[in-house]
Chains A and B, each alone.
Chain A
Amino acid sequence: MIIRKEGSLLPQNPPDTLASKPLSTPKISFPRRPAGTLYRGREGMWSWVMHRITGVAIYFFLLVHILDTSLVRLSPESYNAVISSYKTPIMGLGEIALVAAIGLHALNGLRIILIDFWSVGTKHQRLMFYIVIGLWIVLLAGFVPRQLMHIFGGAA
Chain B
Amino acid sequence: MSTIEAPRSPLKPARRRRGINVEKWGWIYMRASGVVLVVLIFGHLFVNLVAGAGVKAIDFAFVAGKLADPFWVVWDTLLLWLALLHGANGMRTIVNDYANNRMVRRLMLGAIALSTIALITLGTLVIYTFDPCPAGSPANLLPSFCPVR
Identify the A interface with B (CB < 8 A): 52, 55-56, 58-59, 62-63, 66-67, 69-70, 72-73, 75-77, 79-80, 83, 86-87, 92, 95, 99, 102, 106, 109-110, 112-113, 116-117, 143, 146-147, 150-151, 155-156
Contact between chains at A80 and B87 (CB < 8 Å): no
0/1 interface trace, chain B 41-61, chain A, CB 8 Å (1 if under) = 110010001100111111111
Interface of B is mostly: helix
A70's nearest neighbour on chain B, judged by CB, is B126
For residue A92, which residues in chain B have a CB less than 8 angstroms away from its CB? 55
In the complex, what residue of chain A is closest to B54 when comparing beta carbons?
A150
Q: In the complex, what residues of A have CB within 8 A of residue B141's CB? A: 76-77, 80
Contact A146 B50 (CB under 8 A): yes
In the complex where A72-B67, A113-B34, A156-B53 touch, is A56 in contact with B126 (Cβ < 8 A)? Answer: no
Interface size class of B (residues with CB under 8 A): 35 or more
**A76-B142 in contact (CB<8A):** yes
Is B110 part of the binding interface, using a Cβ–Cβ cutoff of 8 Å? no
Give the distance in Å from the alpha carbon of A156 to the alpha carbon of B125 in the complex: 32
B76 CB to nearest chain A CB (Å): 9
CB-based nearest A residue for B53: A156
Given that A52-B94, A55-B90 are contacting pairs, would A99 and B45 also be in contact in the complex, using a CB cutoff of 8 Å?
yes
Q: B142 to chain A: which residues have CB within 8 Å?
A: 76
Minimum Cβ distance to chain A for residue B128 (Å): 10
> Do the beta carbons of B35 and A110 come within 8 Å of each other?
yes
When distances are taken between beta carbons in the complex, the residues of chain B under 8 Å from A87 are: 55-56, 58
Contact present for A69 and B126 (CB under 8 Å): yes
Of all A-B residue pairs in the complex, the 6 with the closest CB atoms, nearest first, are A150-B54, A76-B60, A59-B87, A76-B141, A73-B126, A109-B34
